[in-house]
Each structure stands twice: as C-alpha cells, then as structure tokens.
Structure 1
Amino acid sequence: MDVLIVGAGAVGRWVATVLDGPVAFADADEDAAVNAAAERSDARAVPLDGDQTFDVVCVAVPMRAATDVIETQADRANRALVDCTGSMEAPLDVMASVAPDLERVSYHPLFAPEHAPGRIAVSTGEGGPTTDALTAAFEAADNELVTVSATEHDEAMRTIQGRTHAAILAFGLAAEEVPDELSTPVFADLEALRDRVTGGTPGVYADIQDVFDGAEAIAAAASQIADADREAFAALYDDAR
C-alpha cells in the first residue's frame, strides 16, 4: 500500500520507518517534506495541496492543527484515514464526519520518536484490512499496542500528560540553584524529569496544555498545600498517597 504522511516532523518521519512500502511526505514546510523524503530511497515529497490519492493518509501534525488538516486531506485517502497527533476524540469525530466510508484509526505513540519502540495507544473508529496491516507494522517494529476508547484515552491524558508536565514545569520554575553536593534522591529525580521535559520543543507542551489542561489542577493542589495547617496537611498527604 502507498501511504501519504501529512506532517514531516519527528512523528511523521518515525511512522515512515515502520512502514513497508512507498511513502510520500507533505508538509506546510516544503523543505521539511523534501528532507524527510531524502531519508528513504522509496519516499518522495508531494505538495500539501495536491490532488494525488493514496491508499492511506496518515496525519502526523501538532494537535492544534489536527482537525483542520484531517478535513483538508481526507479526500486524498482511498482506503484509510489515520492520525498520530496525540489526542483521539476530536480527530476521530472529524474523520467520521468527512470520511465515513473509510477505515479510521487514531494512534498515539506514548513516547518521543527518539525513544522508540514503546507503547502505542490505538482507538478504532472503523477498522478493516488496511488499518489491520498498519497496526501489524507497528507491532512488527517491537511496539506494544494498547487498545483504548478515544474518551478513555483523552481523559487519561489529562493526568498522564497535562498534569504531569505542568507539575514538572512548575517545579522547574520554583526551584533555585543549589550545590550539587546537597542534592537528595528525590530532588535529583525531579531535576532529571525537568531536564527531560525542557529538552523537548515548547510548542508540543503548549499544545498538551491547550488540549488536556493540567496547570489549573496543579495550581489548585499547590494552593491547598500552601494554605494547610498541620492537620490539613496530614490529610492532603494521605490523599496524595
């Protein structure tokens, strides 16, 4: 099958590495598509506004652009329309609206591409032989696939990504420079998490906060701790545990 990957960033390029067959890249940044295609002998760059169709269109763009890109690229898919954008409910709803006759699946790699392989969440709107082949390709690349409903996935991501990232970034903002020799194991663990999160791309984490929030819940919890007397603190401590 031939696949069009819309989005020539890290996720789109990673998807291409697990597929067996010709791949085309399209991106708002034409140079990015050309550079991604140059990484494979059986890949090419195509215009984002082209009219060529493919067996599969895989949308791998930032979450903020996912639904718009799905709408504009759906008519280029002959068999299946899938996404790897990070959220599931909104992409699958749009897929069902604009491509009701196609196979439709949302994949979310639960890792940064540089840390592949890993777990991939999978939510199916309408399955079939083409998406089965895609899923098999992800599995063949040593990834563990986890089947989940779109609603369950997005609700879980509010804690797994939204609140987790907000807490780590809040620690990074609140922490002051301290002597290395005074570090404790807990502090060192948090420093390592801060370094991992801030070693990424700010826009990715901004998108996660926009879609899954998290910062308000972390701020509210911090306020509870700040305002608690010893008895209230003990109760909060037990709740956290």
Structure 2
Amino acid sequence: METLVVGAGAMGRWFARTVDGDVAFADADPDAADAAATAVGGRSVPLDADGRFDAVCVAVPISAGEAAIAEHAPKATRAVLDVTGVMAGSVAAMAEHAPDAERASLHPMFAPERAPGRVAVVRDAAGPVTDAVLDDVRAAGNEVYETTPTEHDAAMETVQAGAHAAVLAFALAADDVPEGLRTPVYDGLADLASQVTGNEPRVYAEIQETFDGAEAVADAARRIADADAEAFAALYEAAGGTADAAGGDG
C-alpha cells in the first residue's frame, strides 16, 4: 500500500514513520517534500501531481486543511485521513470529497517529538485500511481514544486554546525572580511556558484562531484580580472542584 502524505512537516513525518507501507510526500515546498522523503524513506511527488494512491493523509496546518482535502482526497482509491488537529470541518470535507472511501481523522495529542502518546480518532467510515492504520498507531506505543467531531473540537477549547493562553499569559506577566525565591508552582508554570514557547508559533496561532477558550481564561483572570476576600474564596473553591473533576480518579 502506498500513502500520499500531503504536508512534509513534523506531523506528516510522524504519520509516515508510524504507519506501515510505502509513502510519497507532497508539499507546497518541494524541498521540504524531498527532505521528508530522505529522512523517512519513500519518494517525493509534485503537489499538483495527478497520481492515484491507496490512501491519502492530509497533514497541513488547520487553516489549509479543508482546501487540501478537497484537492487531494480524490487521489485516494481506498482511504482518506487527516492529522490537521480539527475534526468537524475535516470530517465533513472528507465525506464530501471522498464519499466512497474509508475516512478517519486523527489528532495526536502531543508534539511529534514527544511520541508516543494519546491519539484522538474519529472513524467516519471504517474499513480495513483505517483499521490497519490504527493498529500501526497502537503498535508504536500510542493509546487510541475514539471520539466524535463535536466532542473533540469542544474539548480543544479547553485542552489547547485555554491551556495555551493561560501558560502564555503567565509567561508574559511573570517577572524573573532569584532561584532561591521560586516555588514549585512557579517552577512548574515556568517549565510549561518553556515547553509551549519552544515550538512553532504559527501552530499555536492557528489553534487560537480555530478554537475559543482564550477569552474564558482572560475573563477568569479578571474575576480573580477584581475579587475581594470573600469572592476570592468562592473562586478558589470553584477552581478546586474543577481541578478535581478534570483530574478524574488519577
């Protein structure tokens, strides 16, 4: 089986390394496609090539996802997948442009260099190809979490947009302090800020543009800043209940 991976960035390379079979890379930057093919194995093809492939995986930024699916999904003879990170629009676009193919949307919940981890999956039209892909994902040590487009995209408002906004706001607001005056909470937030800011800013910008969540964080910070002692205590208790619910049994 040969898969066309549209997008030769980190996520496209992760997919190509994880899934068994031959791979062809196509990218708006031909040099990037060549480099990915050299690094991962396989070949590079022009982005506008008319070839047909057993499967097509779209691994482009969120803002380009639906257009890329529309352009490249018809090249698949068996299955179309995406790893763009947003599911409602991607699943709808795959259904529209590849109605007779197997279809699945995957969202690795980690940066590729931190693999393995949890991979959210919507199997919109399951079959032997998508089943084999998920078997390969599991074989690489990942946990597969099956979800729906609505559940996934709603969760990303908190898990990505809200979380990133909170961490970045802390980093922007924090003053540098002597090491001897730092607390475990400060160190934990500083570590998170280093983790978030050590990646490509464009990716985080697209998450903020796609998912709501930052405004809720800003509103919560303002309520804390404006609260008197009694109101703060209420907010503190509410935050503790939210944290307990988010943490589950773990």
Alignment TM class, shorter chain as reference: over 0.9
- For the pair 1:149 / 2:148, whether they are aligned, the reply is yes
Residues in 2 aligned to 1:16 and 1:110: alpha-carbon distance in whole angstroms: 17
Q: What are the residue-to-residue correspondences of 1:83-102 with 2, within 5 Å?
A: 83-102=82-101
Q: Shift of residue 38 of structure 1?
A: 0.6
When normalised by structure 2's length, the TM-score is: 0.94
* Residues 175-234 of structure 1: per-residue CA shift (max 9 Å, x gap): 011111111000000000000000011001001111112211111111111111111111
SS in 2 for 1:142: coil
Partner of 1:5: 5
SS in 2 for 1:87: coil
* Residues 145-172 of structure 1: per-residue CA shift (max 9 Å, x gap): 0111111011111101110000000000
Q: What are the residue-to-residue correspondences of 1:1-241 with 2, within 5 Å?
A: 1-41=1-41, 43-241=42-240
Residues in 1 aligned to 2:230 and 2:160: alpha-carbon distance in whole angstroms: 31
SS in 1 for 2:49: coil
Aligned residues: CA RMSD? 0.8
Structure 1 gaps, min length 5? none
**Contact 2:118–2:142 at 8 Å: present in 1 too?**
yes
Amino-acid identity (%)? 56
Say how many residue pairs are matched.
Answer: 240
Please identify runs of 4+ aligned residues in structure 1 that moved more than 2 A: none
Residues in 2 aligned to 1:115 and 1:238: alpha-carbon distance in whole angstroms: 34
**What residue identity is the alignment partner of 2:239?**
A
Structure 2 gaps, min length 5? 241-250
When normalised by structure 1's length, the TM-score is: 0.98
Greater CA drift, 93-102 or 162-171: 93-102
